[in-house]
Amino acid sequence: MDIITYEFENIPIESIEYLSQSKHVTPKSSVLEKCKHRIKEKKFINSLGIETAPYEEVKSLEELKQAIKIIGIPAILKTCE
């Protein structure tokens, strides 16, 4: 049996879904969807009772200023995907 696997989360979900139609792919596209988006990933990990580094979702300059007040400095700003 052929199995397809991948190591990085920067693969289009559609590619994994397409490949899954003809071969066994692991991890599944549902796992990739969580790992591909940092906020979804952290919320999922936290829901399992596992702590992560403090984080805040930021969508504007005002939210960034508020997040820095909450998290403090130094801080890292990353994109979600």
Domain ranges of the chain: 1-36
Facing residues of 26 across strands? 5
Percent of the chain with pLDDT over 70: 100
Q: Summarize pLDDT for 48-58 with one digit per residue, the tens.
A: 999 999 999 99
Mean pLDDT of the chain: 93
Within 10 A of 38 (CB to CB), how many other CB atoms are there? 17
Res 1 pLDDT > 80:
no
Q: Summarize pLDDT for 58-76 with one digit per residue, the tens.
A: 999 999 999 999 999 999 9
Check: CB of residue 18 under 8 Å from CB of residue 28.
no
Distance CA 40, CA 42 (A): 6
